[in-house]
Chains A and B, each alone.
Chain A
Amino acid sequence: MTNAVEQAYVKVIVFQLADKEYAIPVSYVRGIEKLMHITRVPKTPRYVKGVINLRGVVTPIIDLRERFGLPVSENEETVRIIIIQLEDMEVGFVVDSANDVLDIESSSIEQQPEVVGSSEEDFISGVAKLDKRLLILLHLDKVLNPLG
């Protein structure tokens, strides 16, 4: 039972996109960077903003607003790039702001019901309720694949 207690929490990074809060488990997150110069890569999908120089490693950047079909953000001050690693891919997500690091109780996560709706919902793996906040957990595999 003691073991179960440890696993009952998931540590996540919480970030903002438009008016919603999203979460990614920290185990995938390699770092959070301020917005820097992004070099456009031609002939790629719209949501691929380009590549950045992340301490000597050329890292592709995905604009999550574009990926979820949201309107372009106005405020550039708080914009952050969350660097995530999934298997052998390292990719940066452009988000409106990175808000928090939280422990969520596994029990508070509700699996996303299978609905066919807007493209945004395709990327959601679950929803966590926390006091008055609603955190949307992302399905990283689906956000990254397939390209195009």
Chain B
Amino acid sequence: MEVNQYLEMFIDESKEHLQACSEHLLELEKNPQDLAIVGEIFRSAHTLKGMSATMGFEDLADLTHKMENVLDAIRNDKIKVTPEILDVVFESVDHLEEMVQDIASGGDGKRNVQATVEMLKRIESGDTEVNTVPVQMAASEQAATSIVSAERKLEYDDFEKTILHQSTEQGHMAYEISISLREDCLLKAARVFMVFEILEKNGDVIKSSPTVDKLEEEQFDSVFHVALISKETADDLQKMLLKVSEVEKVEVLAVDPSSFKEVKGEVISRDDESSLQPAIIESVPEQQTVPVAAEKKPAANNTKAHAPATSKTIRVNIERLDVLMNLFEELVIDRGRLLSIAAEVNHGELSETVERMSRTMGDLQNIILTMRMVPVETVFNRFPKMVRQLSRDLNKKINLDIIGAETELDRTVIDEIGDPLVHLIRNSLDHGVESPEVRRQKGKPEEGTVQLRAYHSGNYVFIEIEDDGAGINREKVLTKAISKGIVSKEAASSLSDKQVNELIMASGFSTADVISDISGRGVGLDVVKTTIESLGGNISIESTQDVGSIFSIQLPLTLSIISVMLVEIEKEIYAVPLSSIIETSIIRHSDILNAHNQKVIDFRGKVVPLIFLEEVFEVPRTESKDDEFHSVVIVRKGEKMAGLVVDSFIGQQEIVLKSLGNYLTNIFAISGATILGNGKVALIVDCNALM
């Protein structure tokens, strides 16, 4: 099938739509009256349904369809928004996300969602039972109008009429469009989809007959009718719709919403023609607009403003950017050569040109680097829903504040940072923020706040998670740490508060008395710490008891460019990442001590083991070296330290990280390579593997 080539796009777009769904659902939860938000959710769900049906993921389409029914009922005021209903819709979105995830990882997107489907159905039908009276009224009204208006193909309920009124007040036109497909049309649903796409681009579809579902299931002959609010003229709409192939005839009629009032008043005496004026209508503001509609007005404006806000972007495979970067680096090396040639021949014009080229290349480098940057929003946007769910599970009231979601980070960092953040936020919700009762006793507001902040500073991006919860209990942490053998009793009393805080990230530590589902299932914060350190970052904790804690993560802007210390062993050059270096030092041979077959030094009161890189890397020596002094790079991995013995230090440099390719994998203590200014390859030492 040709479908495959669209799969990636489908997955990306589905994710976007689902994200939009969750965001709007959260918004709806805050303003349950705002039906415009329901409209937004409905639209996302609708598109998703169309896409998944086209791609042949029936389970996905089916669940979306059920969810859409409920949304439609809400939108048409048949169901009131309640937290219970939202829970079910949230659950459906969760299921949909799982399905898309499954498809993305090569699955077929099948999933047992029977329970959710049942609930959706119950909401949809259960509520109609409660609301039988208005529905019947609407039905009888429809019946009445249909007698009168033979010309007009669509009937409207109160809500739709109000919308029509309001849009004409705002200078939009209301149209009724009849579309006839050719008798021999094979893909009716596809044509319907195309027609709706055009209509939705140019306005808002209010109603269709038969209903959208039936249209999509091809349960109609060849003609269908749509009510549309649009700013386009009838002629333009007609022309646009006729562009869709296999559409035979399009009739566009302007509708005068003010005529509806008469429908209500005196049904029988109404004149058909008066409601169908194919000209511009000056409608008088209606007096009887219901309060719901009054609220709807600004919201409708909002959605209009949102629609065209899509920025002009293209999707580029990240591999292409890597290739671009590689080629650019080649240029950098050549520039180096040119510079030295220009200096040698002492040619003014040449030097000037090379100088100018250097400046342009600096700009170019910046652009290439920023192209790889992605806003942290892509990671952050899944948290509101998670926090909502968790605070329900925990019976806590928690508000999540997100600041600086637009902060940009390298794509590779973004991909890695998600899980550690989930862990930290769960930790804050579970262990940080107290239950409402406890908070009341402490004189805090019942609702706890967790703030997620991201910002740039220098060459780093900081991500902070702050809660106004209980903070870290020094005594509790120390008792635990002693019982787990992480610190000795004697050492415990001398630890600073900061050191105590860091203990919760030591491996084998977990303060939760009961292992809960939310955090602390064996893997602790130590995993978070290791992940962040492997990204060249850092994590620190500040905490005041009963006031709250701040977990602060410092991350490099990019993983593709790192700062290293270049060192030399015999003729070989190695790069040691600066992020793991504490300091460099030159020691006397006589300072080296022997402890259990291990050479160690006394470094600022600590016993630090020495690692001779020439032994680890089996560097061939032409003649044995007998120096009185040794150059040592002191590196650390968490709390552990080690001294790497090298021949000499060359200096600090920003380098571009490269992989060794697919042939050489898992080389001991080498994490990658880089290309030096002279065009030679230098290997990057993986300090973590050495310790």
Contacts and interface: CB of A to CB of B under 8 A. Distances in A.
Contacts of B679: 37, 53
B668 interface: yes
Contact of B664 (A44, A52, A57): A44
A58 interface: yes
Contact of B680 (A37, A42, A43, A90): A37
Q: Which of B327, B328, B660 has its CB near the most chain A CB atoms (within 10 A)? A: B660
B675 A51 contact: no
A47 to B, nearest CB: 12
B669 to A, nearest CB: 8
A88 B659 CA distance: 13
Contact of A53 (B572, B662, B675, B683): B675
B661 A89 contact: yes
Which secondary structure dominates where chain A touches chain B? strand
A57 B660 CA distance: 9
A14 to B, nearest CB: 24
A40 B572 contact: yes
A52 B670 CA distance: 16
A44 B667 contact: yes
Nearest to B664: A60
A13 to B, nearest CB: 20
B680 A58 contact: no
A8 interface: no
Contact of A56 (B329, B664, B670): B329
A71 B362 CA distance: 48
Given A56-B330, A90-B661, A41 B670 contact: yes
Contacts of B682: 39
A43 B326 contact: no
Contacts of A40: 572
Contacts of B17: none
A147 interface: yes
Contacts of B616: 42
Interface residues of A, number: 24
A39 B326 CA distance: 18
A53 B660 contact: no
B663 interface: yes
Contact of A43 (B658, B660, B667, B673): B667
A16 to B, nearest CB: 24
A130 interface: no
B540 to A, nearest CB: 34
A41 B663 contact: no
Interface string A117-148: 00000000000000000000000000010010
B568 to A, nearest CB: 13
Contact of B658 (A44, A55, A58, A89): A58
B675 A60 contact: no
Contact of B661 (A37, A42, A50, A59): A59
A95 interface: no
Contacts of B668: 42-43
Interface string B562-578: 00000000001000000
Given A53-B675, A53-B681, A43 B664 contact: no
A56 B676 CA distance: 10
Given A58-B673, A58-B675, A88-B662, A39 B329 contact: no
Nearest to B678: A37
A41 B662 contact: no
Contacts of A43: 617-618, 667-670
A48 interface: yes
B364 interface: no
B468 to A, nearest CB: 49
Interface in A57-86: 57-60
A91 interface: yes
A44 B455 CA distance: 42
Nearest to A37: B680
A91 B683 contact: no
A59 B663 CA distance: 9
Contacts of B681: 37, 39, 50-53, 58
Contact of B663 (A37, A42, A91): A91
B292 interface: no
B662 A39 contact: no
Interface string B314-347: 0000000000001111100000000000000000
B512 interface: no
Contact of A58 (B617, B619, B659): B659
Nearest to B620: A40
B617 A42 contact: yes
Interface string A5-47: 0000000000000000000000000000000010111111000
Given A58-B659, A59-B661, A89-B661, A42 B330 contact: no
A58 to B, nearest CB: 5
Nearest to B571: A40
Interface in B9-54: none
B655 to A, nearest CB: 12
B670 A144 contact: no
Contacts of A91: 661, 663
A147 B327 CA distance: 29
A52 B681 CA distance: 6
B325 to A, nearest CB: 8
Contact of B683 (A41, A57, A88, A144): A41
Contacts of A48: 664
A56 B675 contact: yes
Contacts of A60: 660-661, 663-664
Nearest to B332: A56
A143 to B, nearest CB: 11
A57 B327 CA distance: 9
A49 to B, nearest CB: 11
B572 A57 contact: no
A148 B622 CA distance: 26
Contact of B660 (A41, A56, A88): A41
B662 A56 contact: no
B406 to A, nearest CB: 32
A53 B680 CA distance: 6
Contacts of A88: 662
B615 to A, nearest CB: 10
Contacts of A53: 675, 679-681
A60 B682 CA distance: 13
Contacts of B658: 57-58
Interface string B259-278: 00000000000000000000
A144 to B, nearest CB: 7
A6 B668 CA distance: 48
A34 B670 CA distance: 27
Contacts of B662: 88-90
Nearest to A38: B681
Interface in B588-645: 616-619
A52 B673 CA distance: 10
A8 to B, nearest CB: 33
22 contacts: A37-B679, A37-B681, A39-B680, A39-B682, A41-B660, A41-B667, A42-B616, A42-B617, A43-B617, A44-B667, A51-B661, A52-B681, A53-B680, A55-B326, A55-B330, A56-B329, A57-B326, A57-B661, A58-B659, A58-B673, A58-B675, A91-B661
Given A51-B681, A147-B664, 4 more contacts: A56-B326, A56-B330, A57-B326, A89-B662
5 smallest CB-CB distances across A and B, nearest first, come from: A56-B326, A42-B617, A39-B681, A56-B330, A58-B673
Interface of A: 37, 39-44, 48, 50-53, 55-60, 88-91, 144, 147
